[in-house]
């Protein structure tokens, strides 16, 4: 699969992560220090380690030992995170708070052959909008507190209602640093409202599926919504900036692509003005595994996909150019890639409304000054 446009190291990582069953020799000239950097940048070291150690590639002993250690540590961390995830999920369920795990904590089980090879740092849940207060209490009862930034906005600025209106999540950290609890994010939206009215709990849970995480049966959105959630997070928000995101998509499509309701996906994507980014994302997945995208999935063969989506290698090799804020990066990408002029004007109008939240921005500035002093 690797081509000349990749560095030796990046091409080798892509091959091992996405096509571990294809026999290949170790490249004659490979910079293992650069491999280490790329694996860290793209959060795929456990997957790379598992696949290459299970294959026939003969590695230098120091590299083999390092990868074995990384895989062992990742497995231990995954088991701990998973136990914490299920403990929170059960607690919320027992206290009448609907919730489902999302992003890495769920996707590692849904479509990774070995769940521990999919890294994540936060325990993400989506809840109904009207259960935010109850969810905060539940997370707090399990040893957490709202992280300092949002806690300052809530306690000092009395801005909880504004955060609920404009933000997507509350973030929590463990109260006792000695316990080293993984961070928790409680989401009520899948993307900031200023980028459009996206799926809330009630819609996501229509015809929900049941999935196995450890010994628990978990209700979560059906596979069609999982694909849309993947594209929204990895495409519209992260812009396919890491190998891990493309691996997620390819692995998902390998498992679910042949049986997805593509008419439903096209209808929902069109409704949210994200059909172009869905199409671009499928084309990107097809570059790395042509078999994963059924012909019926391509909604508009005449559409010309965007080059910056289909050729992320410069970002993968060198990293992103810095911008003033992550929000600005997301905004510019959405303006380029959303389907319609009306959607783009709506996004700009919503950002104007967001900027008019003077009190919110004042307290953000105060918090920043207090913590930079």
Rounded CA-CA distance 102/126 in Å is: 7
pLDDT tops 70 at residue 204: yes
- Residue-wise pLDDT tens digits, 118-172: 999 999 999 999 999 999 999 999 999 999 999 999 999 999 999 999 999 999 9
pLDDT tops 50 at residue 3: no
pLDDT of residue 4: 47
- Residue-wise pLDDT tens digits, 89-111: 999 999 999 999 999 999 999 99
Report the predicted TM-score, pTM, of the whole model to 2 decimal places.
0.92
User: How distant, in Å, are the alpha carbons of 166, 193, 274, 333 from that of 197?
Assistant: 11, 6, 12, 17
From 12, 30, 31, select the one nearest 20 (Cα to Cα): 12
Strands (E), 77-167: 100-102, 123-126, 144-146
The band of 371, judged by pLDDT with boundaries at 50, 70 and 90, is: confident
Mean pLDDT of the chain: 90
pLDDT of residue 299: 57
pLDDT tops 60 at residue 302: no
| Residue 4 burial (CB count, 10 A) | 6
pLDDT tops 70 at residue 301: no
Strands (E), the chain: 100-102, 123-126, 144-146, 169-174, 184-187, 209-213, 216-220
Based on DSSP, count helices (H) and strands (E) in the chain, helices before strands.
18, 7
Rounded CA-CA distance 91/130 in Å is: 18
Percent of the chain with pLDDT over 90: 73
pLDDT of residue 2: 43
pLDDT tops 90 at residue 115: yes
pLDDT tops 50 at residue 334: yes
Q: Give kind and range of the element (H or E) at residue 345.
A: helix 341-355
User: How distant, in Å, are the alpha carbons of 54, 64, 232, 293, 333 from that of 59?
Assistant: 12, 6, 38, 34, 40
Q: Is residue 357 exposed (0-12), middle (13-18) or buried (19+ Cβ within 10 Å)?
A: middle
CA angle 110, 45, 2 (to 5 degrees): 90
pLDDT of residue 67: 94
Q: Which of 186-200, 205-219, 245-259, 296-310 has the lowest mean pLDDT?
A: 296-310
């Amino acid at each position: 699969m690797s081509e000349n446009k990749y560095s030796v190291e990046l091409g080798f990582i892509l091959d091992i992560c996405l096509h571990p069953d294809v026999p290949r020799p170790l490249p004659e000239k490979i910079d293992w220090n650069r491999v280490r950097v790329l694996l860290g940048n793209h959060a795929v070291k456990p997957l790379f380690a598992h696949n290459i150690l299970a294959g026939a590639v003969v590695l230098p002993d120091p590299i083999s030992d390092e990868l074995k250690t990384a895989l062992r540590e990742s497995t231990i961390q995954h088991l701990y995170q998973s136990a914490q995830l299920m403990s929170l999920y059960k607690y919320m369920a027992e206290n009448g708070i609907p919730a489902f795990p999302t992003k890495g904590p769920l996707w590692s089980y849904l479509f990774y052959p070995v769940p521990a090879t999919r890294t994540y740092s936060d325990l993400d849940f989506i809840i109904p909008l009207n259960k935010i207060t109850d969810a905060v209490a539940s997370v707090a009862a399990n040893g957490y507190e709202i992280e300092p930034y949002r806690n300052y906005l809530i306690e000092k600025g009395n801005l909880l209602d504004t955060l609920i209106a404009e933000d997507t999540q509350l973030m929590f950290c463990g109260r006792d640093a000695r316990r080293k609890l993984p961070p928790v994010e409680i989401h009520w939206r899948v993307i900031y409202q200023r980028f459009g009215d996206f799926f809330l709990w009630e819609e996501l849970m229509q015809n929900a599926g049941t999935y196995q995480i450890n010994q628990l049966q978990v209700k979560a959105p059906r596979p069609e919504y999982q694909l849309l959630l993947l594209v929204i997070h990895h495409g519209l928000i992260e812009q396919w900036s890491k190998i891990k995101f493309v691996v997620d998509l390819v692995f998902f499509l390998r498992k679910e692509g042949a049986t997805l309701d593509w008419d439903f996906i096209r209808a929902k994507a069109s409704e949210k003005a994200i059909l172009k980014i869905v199409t671009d994302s499928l084309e990107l997945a097809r570059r790395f595994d042509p078999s994963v995208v059924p012909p019926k999935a391509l909604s508009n063969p005449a559409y010309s996909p965007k080059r910056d989506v289909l050729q992320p290698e410069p970002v993968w090799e060198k990293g992103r150019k810095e911008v003033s804020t992550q929000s600005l990066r997301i905004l510019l990408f959405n303006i380029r890639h959303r389907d319609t002029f009306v959607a783009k004007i709506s996004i700009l109008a919503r950002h104007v409304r967001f900027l008019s939240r003077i009190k919110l921005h004042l307290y953000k500035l105060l918090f920043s000054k207090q913590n930079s002093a």
